[in-house]
Amino acid sequence: MRIGIFVVAGLFPGQESGRVLADAVEWIVAAEEAGFDDAWVAEHHFMTYGVCPSPATLAAVAIGRTSRIGLGTAVSVLSSQHPVALAEQAAMLHHLSGGRFTLGVGRGGPWVDLEVFGTGLERYERGFAESLDLLLDALSGPSVAADGEFFRFREVPMVPSASMRPVVACTSAGTVEVAARRGLPMLLGMHIGDEDKAAMIKRYGDSTVGHVAAGVACVADSTAEAVRELKAAMLAWLGPGLAGYVPVDGRTRPSRDAGAYVDLLTGIHPVGSAEHCAETLRRTAEVTGVERFILLMEGLGEHGRTLENIRRFGAEVLPLLRG
């Protein structure tokens, strides 16, 4: 089982975004020291839910501060950037990290980002497969060219070049099929439980390609204590944070009750005593076949508490999983 941390860089009340980003690098350093295998960073724009607009940049900083831990993006949003430019960044990080970097990509959502960055709603609605194929071309050969609906350009050399296979965030049957046709591992979101994860892997058709599951984690002396503290802190973050998803057009934004969402997260993920956390991850692995996890450790909302959670999980939970 491979266990990493999932860095969203959420802005809790009273915090400053620049400080949160600096703290996030410290979490990754602490995760390496605590024995975690990976640290993957999320991308968000124009919202407090997450204040890291460039996970590749934060990963680059973390690469310079670490020597062993794997770094990844969870995810870089293909609908709002050029796939070849992203491939160039990924190749740089691959070489500068000594092969420690994993590129995670996703379709994203119909958010205002598409307007601000000028990529448009059409790229989101029907351009993901073309964007992904162009990214794969740019990460598989010494040169790349395009003659599609959204991308057309002459052949150019990839400098630097790197042979890499990304992970694809999958939240719908359509994206599962896109990933499966290309043999790319899925990143499964933290908003679904074991049975839904297993159903998506069954639709994919192969549980052995290295799928990744995201979750939330908090370890305490008792499960009741962990759930109580995490609920109190996360509600203050998720309430205004989830409201930051602004549609690019006039469509109604899907609403999510923050309290119900926190109840879901604390119920299906490793939140509790060390033994409960280990058993929860074992059960997910047994039901789904997934053996690679990235866990959000920052839900308590304070830098010191996040560091404590990372260190305690490393000292108390990881040995139970690896023993």
Give pLDDT tens digits along the chain (323 positions): 999 999 999 999 999 999 999 999 999 999 999 999 999 999 999 999 999 999 999 999 999 999 999 999 999 999 999 999 999 999 999 999 999 999 999 999 999 999 999 999 999 999 999 999 999 999 999 999 999 999 999 999 999 999 999 999 999 999 999 999 999 999 999 999 999 999 999 999 999 999 999 999 999 999 999 999 999 999 999 999 999 999 999 888 888 899 999 999 999 999 999 999 999 999 999 999 999 999 999 999 999 999 999 999 999 999 999 97
The candidate with the shortest Cα–Cα distance to 259, out of 251, 269, 267, is: 267
CA neighbor of 273 nearest in space, from 218, 213, 195 = 218
∠ CA 209-318-71, rounded to 5°: 50
Q: Tokens 């992904």 map to which residue?
A: 132
How far is 2 from 10, CA to CA, in rounded Å? 24
| pLDDT in the model for residue 256 | 87
Q: How far is it, in rounded angstroms, from Cα 81 to Cα 266?
A: 34
Strands 143-147 and 152-157: antiparallel
pLDDT at 254: 81
Q: What is the dihedral of CA 105, 106, 112, 114, to 10 degrees?
A: 70
- For residues 91 and 93, give the distance between their C-alpha atoms in angstroms, rounded to a whole number: 5
| Number of domains composing the chain | 1
So what's the pLDDT on residue 255? 83
pTM reported for the whole predicted model: 0.97
Helix (DSSP H) and strand (DSSP E) numbers for the chain: 13, 14
**Domain interval for residue 86:** 2-322
Domain containing residue 23: CATH number: 3.20.20.30
C-beta separation of 310 from 19 below 8 A: no
Q: Judge contact between 103 and 78, C-beta under 8 A.
A: no
pLDDT value, residue 90: 98
